[in-house]
Each structure stands twice: as structure tokens, then as C-alpha cells.
Amino acid sequence: MVVAVTVGTNSNHNDHEDNIEHSRKNHVASTIKAVQNICKPTDFKKECVESLYAEAEARNVTDPKELIKIAFNVTINKIGEKLKETDLMQEVEKDPRSKDAFDTCKKLMDLSIGELTRSLDGIGKFDLQDIDQILMNLKVWLSGAVTYIDTCLDGFENTTTDGGKKMKELLTSSMHMSSNSLAIISDFADTLSHWNTTKIVGRRLLHDSKSTPSWVEHHKLVNANTNTLKQIPNVTVALDGSGDFKSINEALLKVPMKSKKAFVIYIKEGVYREYIEVTKHMTHVVFVGDGGQKTRITGSKNFIDGINTYNTATVAIQGDHFTAINMGFENSAGPHKHQAVALRVQGDKSILFNCSMDGYQDTLYVHAMRQFYRDCTISGTIDFVFGNALSVFQNCKFVVRKPMSNQKCIVTAQGRKERFHPSAIVIQGGSIVSDPAFYPFRFDNTAYLARPWKNFSRTIFMDAFIDDLIHPDGYLPWQTPEGFSGMDTCFYAEYHNYGPGSNKSNRVRWAGIRNLNSKTAHLFAPSKFFHGGDWIQATGIPYFSSIPQHHKHKKTFIKW
């Protein structure tokens, strides 16, 4: 009997251990399957699975939402670790251009972490009634996070030191992980779009049309006229001492941090020779000038003088909900100085109305996030509108200036590096013309609509007047040491344009050149492209939410 009891006890103990082992194997299998499923849409699956599995297994997580949070957290932590490589810092310090790139990189990585953290917070706020807008926000912010890391990589493009090479390797790893997060959210959004959410979305849109953010109250003054904004600004800047300050930088010191109300700075006529940065903590800042040719902010930083492109900007906008009205931004470095940015914008939901941006190469850097330009004039020579924002230009004038004798001119160079980015440059209405000084030389220095700066570059021209300066080919390939790139993977389209340069019959025959029908073209109108344009409409800025039927052969100018 004692033997029997002993045998029975051992048998029960073994069964218990078998059950634990079976349960553990089931748990491991479930975790692996969940991680593999969440990583399925990514382009860097190995890194995705390896970075997620250990954390998910340790925390017993298989829920997709929690796995997404883990993916964001792991990416945030890894980026932070990369910037603490002290040996690397010492190596980079030996070369001035590498040091400049590294210093810029630290700022950009901080911005990237900020966007990933904002996205992580957004994951916890899922509400079916607002799911469409929440997912759009996540895609925009994650796209910004990836773009900032890509800009870090661009900064090391012309460095040859060991420190520069090591930095590229570390940044590539961070880029892959951030890209995976964007891919996961994009796939999640696509999956949800197939659900039958008509009633939910309908209720959300009705709600949006009747409500506006708390900060809009001040912006509604634009509905009246700009003179009203001049009369009741928070501060006034005037070179002659008739305002509160003589410099714009002094005025910016008065901007409350992370405010939800508009802070209006009226900048009187004059040429302001200063470098401006509206930081990420300066939200809802409004610049109001006396006109694009009257109130001008000018600088001359450039690449040839040893400054990386990102840091050449005369004016840099990082704060969300920035608005500029009747302002001029300039980089006067000249075509021989190569990259020289007049205005860099990366604040989400930025609006520029009746402004001018003047320069030569890389005039306007539409770096990241959502941006809307209305009735603006942008001048330059090479890639003079470039970047990876979701940017729409309505009724804007693009003026091609005279380059150096051996240079070609390109209007746009959109920087969409991967297929999951929601970004594009959309030119709706307006015109593409020659500067008077360039006009006699327009057939010698040929001009083009675009070239693919990054592989998935995406630019759409709709309802615009295109003059005869544009070469019949329309587009130039991007040349790298390895050859030409982007011709098969870009997305370039022209829809209902007019003028002597709009004839598409002799355009290049790349796989990336698309023909749009009406249905597809409407996807790039602001209401669809931005997934709602309440943030524009609420300001009173003139705005077409869709593609006006009357716009095909008529330039529409809306005045106060």
C-alpha cells in the first residue's frame, strides 16, 4: 500500500509538471504567433520579431494593442540608447562636418522620440467614434518620427570618418524599428477601413463640423481681415521702435509654452536679418506681416560654408498649429552656395497664407507633418520645394529662377522613403512660371516638375497652369553613386493641368508615372488627403476642400 501511494504521488507530480510544460509551450507558441502577426506587414520583419518577442513573452502579452505599445516603447528606448554612445561621440567630434551632423542628430532624435511618445499616448485613447482621425494622427506622427531619423542619416551623407560610418549603422537600426511601427499602424488602419463603420464615421463627421478646437476663437479673426489681427496682436515687432520689440526673437520670448490659444505677433514692414526658431513648445503662434515683399525675414546660411542643409534655414517652425499671414521668408545665399533653406516647416497643422518664400536651391523645406499653403509664392532653382510632409499648395505660384550655367532646375523633390508614409506634395491650382531674369534662358537651363529624392517620392499636380519652361520629359531621375533611383517606385501624376508645359504626350515612360481618374484625384484633395480639414476651415483662410469643377481652366483668386 505504501508503494502504491508513493507511485500515485509521483505520478500526480509528473502530471502536474507535464501540464506546466504544456502550458508554457502553448504560451510561447501563442506569443510567437501574435508577434509574427503584428510584424507581418513590416519591411524589416527579423528586427521586428526579435525586438518584440522577449518583452512580449516576459509580460505574457498577445493582445495586438499591447504589442503595438511594446513596439513603440522598445523603439523609444533603443533610440535613447544610441545617443549615449560616448565612444562614438568622441569619434565624431574629430571631424567638423560629422560633429555638426551629430549635434543636429541629437535634436532630431529628441523630436523623433517626442513623436513616438505622442503616438504611444494616442494608442491608449482609441475611441471608435474618432478612430479614423486617431489613426490618421498616428500615421502622421510616426511618419514624422521616421523622417527625423532619415534626416539624421542625410546629415552624415557627406562624411567619411569612422565615426560617421558607425553613426549611419546605428541610425539605420533605429530607422528600421521606427519604420516597423509605422507599418504596423498603417496595416491596422487599413484593416479597420474594411469594417462597416459608416454610421460611426458619419456621426464623427457631423460632430466635427459643428465643433472647433478651443484655440480657434482667436483665429476666427482672420475671417474679418488681417487689419483686425494687426490692431489687436499680443505683441508688435517694429524695426523703428514703434512696437513692443525691435526683433522677432525678442517677441518669441513672450510666447507661452504649449498654449492652446493663438499668440499673435504683428511684424511691421521691414527687413529682419535674424534667424528664427519657433520651437516645439511654442504652439499656436501666428505671424502677421504687411505683405510678402514688405515684411521679410532674411538669412544666408548655406551648405558650401560648412552647414548641413537642415541648419541652413532662415526660419524654422517646429511648433504645432503655426500660422503665417502676409510674410516673406528668404535665403539670399545664391545659387553658387548650393543648399540654402529659407523656411523649414515641421509643426503639425501649419498654415501659410499670402506668403513668399525666396531662395535658390532648397528654398522651402516641407520637412514633416500636415501643412497647408494658400496664395503663396515660392521661388528657387533646384528642388526648391522638398521634404516629406503632407503638404497641399492651393493657388500658389512657383517661380523658377536663373541657376548657374551648368545647372538644371527642378521644382519639387518629395522625400517619401517608404511605402507606408502618408506624405506627398500636392499642387492644386496656381501656376509654374519663369522668373523674368530666367525667361530668356529657360530653354538652355531646362526645368522639370520633379525628381524622386527618395524611392517612394509622391507628387501630384492638379488644375495648375504650367508654362513652357517645363521640359517635355517632365521629370528627372535621381542620380546616386549606384545609378538612378526612384523611377519605378515613385508616384508622379498630373491631372487637368493647362498651359504650354502641361502636354503629357512626351513625358518620361517610368513605371512611377501615373494617370489619375477623377476618383483617385479626389483622394489628394485636402478633405481626403488630410482626413478632414476643420483645422484649416476654422481659421477663415480661403480653402477648397475638394477639386472645384470650375477650376480646370481658370485661376481662382479669393480675396478678403
Q: Among all residues, which ones are annotated catalytic? A: 383
Sheet hosting strand 328-331, strand order edge to edge? 270-272, 295-299, 328-331, 356-358, 377-380, 397-400, 431-434, 465-466
What whole-number distance in Å separates Cα of residue 200 and Cα of residue 192?
12
CA 113 to chain centre: 15
Within 59-161, residue ranges assigned H as helices are: 64-82, 86-92, 96-123, 131-155
Q: At 180, phi and psi to the nearest 5?
A: -60, -40
Helix (H) or strand (E) holding 272: strand 270-272
What whole-number distance in Å separates Cα of residue 335 and Cα of residue 421?
31
What whole-number distance in Å separates Cα of residue 173 and Cα of residue 82?
9
- Residue 269 contacts residue 295 (beta carbons within 8 Å): yes
Give the DSSP letter string of 34-85.
HHHHHHTT-S-HHHHHHHHHHHHHHTT---HHHHHHHHHHHHHHHHHHHTT-
CA 433 to chain centre: 26
Give the DSSP letter string of 436-501.
TTTGGGTTTS-EEEE--SSTT-EEEEES-EE-TTB-TT-B-PEEETTEEESTTT-EEEEES-BSTT
- Residue 255 contacts residue 280 (beta carbons within 8 Å): no
Compute the radius of gyration of the chain from its Cα atoms. Answer: 26
Q: At 432, phi and psi to the nearest 5?
A: -125, 110
Q: At 24, phi and psi to the nearest 5?
A: -65, -45
- Residue 149 contacts residue 101 (beta carbons within 8 Å): no
To 10 degrees, the CA torsion angle through 485, 486, 489, 492? -160
- Residue 484 contacts residue 478 (beta carbons within 8 Å): yes
Share in percent of the chain as helix, strand, coil (round to 5): 40, 20, 40
Cα separation values, 281 from 73, 278, 322, 418, Å: 23, 8, 11, 29
User: 528 is written with which cell numbers?
Assistant: 481626403
Instruction: Return the DSSP state at 373.
Output: E
Cα separation values, 143 from 133, 137, 178, Å: 15, 10, 9
- Residue 379 contacts residue 351 (beta carbons within 8 Å): no
